[in-house]
Amino acid sequence: MTATTCFTLKYKDKASSARQGEVATPHGTFQTPAFMPVGTQATVKALTPEELQSIGSEIVLANTYHLYLRPGHETIEKLGGLHKFMNWEGPILTDSGGFQIYSLSKLCKTSEEGVNFRSHLSGSPIFLSPEEAISIQRALGTDIIMCLDTCIPYPCPYQETREATRLTSRWAGRCKEAKETNHQLLFGIIQGGMYSDLRMMSAEEILEIGFDGYALGGLSVGEPKDLMLQMAEKTIPLIPENYPRYIMGVGTPEDIIECVWRGVDMFDCVLPTRNARNGMLFTSSGPVVIKNSRYKDDAAPLDENCGCYTCRHYSRAYLRHLYVSRELLSYRLNTIHNLHYFLKLMTEIREAIRKGAFAEYRRKFYKQKEENE
Amino acid sequence: MTATTCFTLKYKDKASSARQGEVATPHGTFQTPAFMPVGTQATVKALTPEELQSIGSEIVLANTYHLYLRPGHETIEKLGGLHKFMNWEGPILTDSGGFQIYSLSKLCKTSEEGVNFRSHLSGSPIFLSPEEAISIQRALGTDIIMCLDTCIPYPCPYQETREATRLTSRWAGRCKEAKETNHQLLFGIIQGGMYSDLRMMSAEEILEIGFDGYALGGLSVGEPKDLMLQMAEKTIPLIPENYPRYIMGVGTPEDIIECVWRGVDMFDCVLPTRNARNGMLFTSSGPVVIKNSRYKDDAAPLDENCGCYTCRHYSRAYLRHLYVSRELLSYRLNTIHNLHYFLKLMTEIREAIRKGAFAEYRRKFYKQKEENE
């Protein structure tokens, strides 16, 4: 008999490790496999919560690092927590800030105790411990909170990776200790760089501590796709099936399908939203670079097969005009479309798993992709 | 008996020249006094047409100059006209481009034939005649189109003003000649700078040609408010009461109330939308500069007395956070609020006129303003 967890497994694919389930959080449940739009600064750029909901988003991600620097977790706590602050009533996951400290801040220095860095906004020195990362996320009041992990460059020598991975485990233990008895779900992060044995060692250590869910960190950092999938393959099976599995910062539609195939439940990535703002749009007939002059007089919708607000009301010509004119509406319409594309993909994946047709869905996906090329 | 025009006068204020009516256009009627949000490049910055409608906008304005340069009127025509292009089904007014050529482009040179200038985008030389201005607006397919007028600096010597005013009249005649027999409404523009006698001369000449409505141009260009109102006062009574009267580029809430008092029906101004993007917000208790640190922890809505989407869902603290973080949602939420403020003002003005209580409304408006200071 397996313990009761936040995760309910509903369907298991026969041909693969894919599964369909749901995660229960203090602000409601969400269906998995799930894609979490990124709302870095307490807003998914350009969209309202109502829009996010209407395009099928059940959970959003926010960045602890950004909110800690501005407006400050104490401010958000005083105002009733992040849900109220940003007017989003559904589940929110916050990362711990580990990756942002590593990628955005200056003079980042990791010690046993925690990490010293300088704010990318003010330049002022800041010290963050695993305990503090938990305390900040408690103040934010989000539903799923993450352990503080250490980040390493890619590529990274074996010994250095091993040390960082072990430190991540020690910090994970401190995070669990620090967490108050409340309804927040705390996820552990499995590291180990690009070394299978370190990934497995990390999984063992993190599982030993015991969390509400498990994430794979330190992937999609520039390594070849095969290597990323290999790391996932080695690690995912070690996580008991009654826990949600989250792969951080992944990825493209293909990455998502391949990780779902391997048993991953949760994803987040800036790709749909960032690409939208750069005029790079996902469509059923392949990528569209909307500023391309070929769309100047194009009366067709961005994607004939898409039912999103943007495709129902606007032509490629208008989207191109807004983009080249740097109009604010451009970012918004593009973001609606790209997020709708990702969230529809997740809906289709879930349906396929429920129908026992995920292998077929995956095959068709690649066939379509080939035809588009 | 007066001729049938696009304007239906419904209520006349007893205490002032204010009136309430409606203007019939090919894309529906709108109530006056009306404020037209400015959608320069075929979009009211950051908002969708559905949002505009939901905050009470019945007509929008677009800029012929901008659309002529990008994406080009022929492109818009090919795509089915401006309404379809921008997904706005209600009335649209386009200005002629005269003011934008004068204020935005370089090396602007006016001759009897038309105006030579350089595109503010590409620097390429362009010639625009009154006939061409009409032809461009025909291609855009908008509901109310404007004559090409000449613009002068403020202050401007009498003789120069007189010459520019007379040229505007000759161009107005050519515009009327050039207009095809279609359903578009063509408005004449009364100029005359800051000289009462030239304003009256211009009104006489423009009225003599005969248009579907009449606008006052060349006001709100830096002159003292008293002078602007004085010019309006001299000119408005010369326009027969069965024609709509439009004062271009005006103005602040006070300007609007004073011009309505003097019999003006239509307004447009970038003030609410531009100020919104600069974090300057109109509220019932006076202006709010949202970046001010005093709002950092302020859980109250921007305006307790406002029912707009922004005020119903967000705190001042969140609006401040979005603004200082330069988030796209900031421009959108601020724009919704400011436009709602202006459109609610117009609704209240119309109601007050209908109830015969406009003088009372105006008195209260100034009392409130005094209390806010």
| Beta-carbon separation of B328 and A324 below 8 A | no
- Enter the tokens of residue B122: 């590409």
Q: Is residue A319, in this structure, part of any structural domain at all?
A: no
Q: What is the spatial distance between Cα A37 and Cα A52, in angstroms, rounded to a whole number?
A: 9
Report whether pLDDT(A1) > 60.
no
Res B106: pLDDT: 77
CATH of the domain at B56: 3.20.20.105
Q: Is residue A353 part of a domain?
A: no
**So what's the pLDDT on residue B338?**
98
The 10s digit of each residue's pLDDT in B14-50 is 999 999 999 999 999 999 999 999 999 999 999 999 9
Q: How far, in Å, CA of B38 to CA of B54, rounded? A: 16
**Is residue B181 scored above 90 in pLDDT?**
no
A→B contacts (Cβ < 8 Å), by residue, are 41-43, 45-48, 70-71, 75, 78-80, 85-87, 296-297, 299, 309, 313-315, 317-318, 320-322, 324-325, 327-329, 331-332
Indicate if the pLDDT at residue B108 is higher than 80: yes
Residue of A86, A317, A328 lying closest to B46 (CB–CB): A328
Radius of gyration of chain B (CA): 20
Q: Indicate whether A3 pLDDT > 80.
A: no
- B349 and B212 together in one domain: no
What pLDDT is attached to residue A102? 87
Domain contains B373? no
Cβ contacts of B80 on chain A, cutoff 8 Å = 299
Best residue of A43, A65, A77 to probe chain B, by most B CBs closer than 10 Å: A43
The pairing of beta strand B19-25 with beta strand B28-32: antiparallel
- Distance (Å, whole) CA B286 – CA B273: 17
Residues of B in contact with A320 (CB under 8 A): 71
In one-letter notation, the amino acid at residue B59 is: I
The alpha carbon dihedral of B70, B76, B77, B83 has a sign of negative
Predicted-complex ipTM score? 0.97
Distance of CA A190 to the CA centre of its chain: 15
- Please check the confidence at residue B1 and state whether its pLDDT lies above 90: no
Q: Which of B13, B149, B255, B268 is catalytic?
A: B268
The pLDDT confidence band at residue B213, using thresholds 50, 70 and 90, is very high
At A250, phi and psi to the nearest 5?
-110, 135
pLDDT band at B243 (very low <50, low <70, confident <90, very high): very high
Q: Residue A125's pLDDT band (boundaries 50, 70, 90)?
A: very high
CB contact under 8 A, A43 and B322: yes
pLDDT value, residue B280: 98
Please indicate, yes or no, whether residues B284 and B332 belong to a single structural domain of this protein: yes
Count up the domains in chain A and report the number: 1
What pLDDT is stored for residue B321 in this prediction? 98
Contacts of B313 in chain A (CB under 8 A): 87
Least confident of A100-104, A353-357, B1-5: B1-5
Are A70 and B321 an interchain contact pair (Cβ–Cβ within 8 Å)? yes
Q: pLDDT, tens digit, for every residue of A242-301? A: 999 999 999 999 999 999 999 999 999 999 999 999 999 999 999 999 999 999 999 999
Q: Are residues B238 and B338 in the same domain?
A: no
Same domain, B175 and B310: no
Confidence (pLDDT) at B294: 98
User: CA B167, CA B149: separation in Å to the nearest integer?
Assistant: 8
Measure the N-to-C terminal CA separation of chain A; round to a whole number of Å: 48
The candidate with the shortest Cα–Cα distance to A284, out of A301, A263, A265, is: A301
Mean pLDDT, range B243-258, rounded to an integer: 97
Same structural domain, B294 and B265: no
Residues B288, B190 share a domain: no
Residues of A in contact with B332 (CB under 8 A): 46, 48, 328, 332
Q: With cut-offs at 50, 70 and 90, classify the pLDDT of residue B2.
A: low
Question: What per-residue confidence (pLDDT) applies to B104?
Answer: 87
- A147 in a structural domain: yes
B244 and B174 in a common domain:
yes
Active site residues of A: 95, 268
Choosing from B211, B243, B269, the residue where a domain stops is B269
The beta-strand segments (E) located in chain A are: 7-12, 19-25, 28-32, 34-36, 60-62, 92-94, 106-110, 115-118, 125-128, 144-146, 185-190, 213-216, 245-247, 266-268, 280-281, 288-289
- The pLDDT of residue B242 is above 80: yes
- Give the model's pLDDT for residue A216: 98
Instruction: Kindly report the nearest CA distance between residue A41 and chain B, in angstroms.
Output: 8
pLDDT in tens, A193-204: 999 999 999 999
Average pLDDT for residues A312-335, to the nearest whole number?
98
Q: B278 and B262, same structural domain? A: no
**pLDDT recorded at residue B225:** 96
Q: Of these residues, B95, B212, B265, B303, which one is catalytic?
A: B95
Helix B253-261 vs helix B225-235: crossing angle, to nearest 10: 30
Q: Is the pLDDT of residue A37 over 80?
A: yes
Q: Is residue B342 domain-shared with residue B212, that is, in the same domain? A: no
Nearest CA in chain A to B301: A85
Same domain for B44 and B116? yes
Per cent of chain B over pLDDT 70 is 99
Higher pLDDT, B105 or B284: B284
In a domain, B205, yes or no: yes
Tell which of B217, B252, B269 closes a domain: B269
Q: Residue B334's domain spans which residues?
A: 274-366
**Considering only CA atoms, which of A123, A124, A112, A120 is closest in space to residue A169?**
A112
Q: What does the buried/exposed string (b/e) look like for A109-118 if buried means 16 or more CB atoms within 10 Å of the residue's CB? A: ebeeebbbbb
Q: Are residues B230 and B166 in the same domain?
A: yes
Specify which residues A280 forms β-bridges with: A289
pLDDT at position A105 is 79
Q: Taking 80 as the threshold, does the pLDDT of residue A2 lie above it?
A: no
At A350 the three-state DSSP class reads helix
Residue A290 lies in a domain: no
Whether B2 is in a domain gets the answer no
Residue A180 has a pLDDT of 86
Residues B322 and B202 in one domain: no
Quote the pLDDT of residue A371. Answer: 93
In terms of C-beta density within 10 A (0-12 exposed, 13-18 middle, 19 or more buried), how is residue B14 classed? exposed
Is B79 within 8 Å of A315 when comparing Cβ atoms?
yes
Question: For residue B144, what pLDDT band results from cuts at 50, 70 and 90?
Answer: very high
* pLDDT confidence of residue B350: 98
In degrees rounded to 5, what are phi and psi of residue A223? -75, 160
Domain boundary among B269, B295, B329: B269
In a domain, B18, yes or no: yes
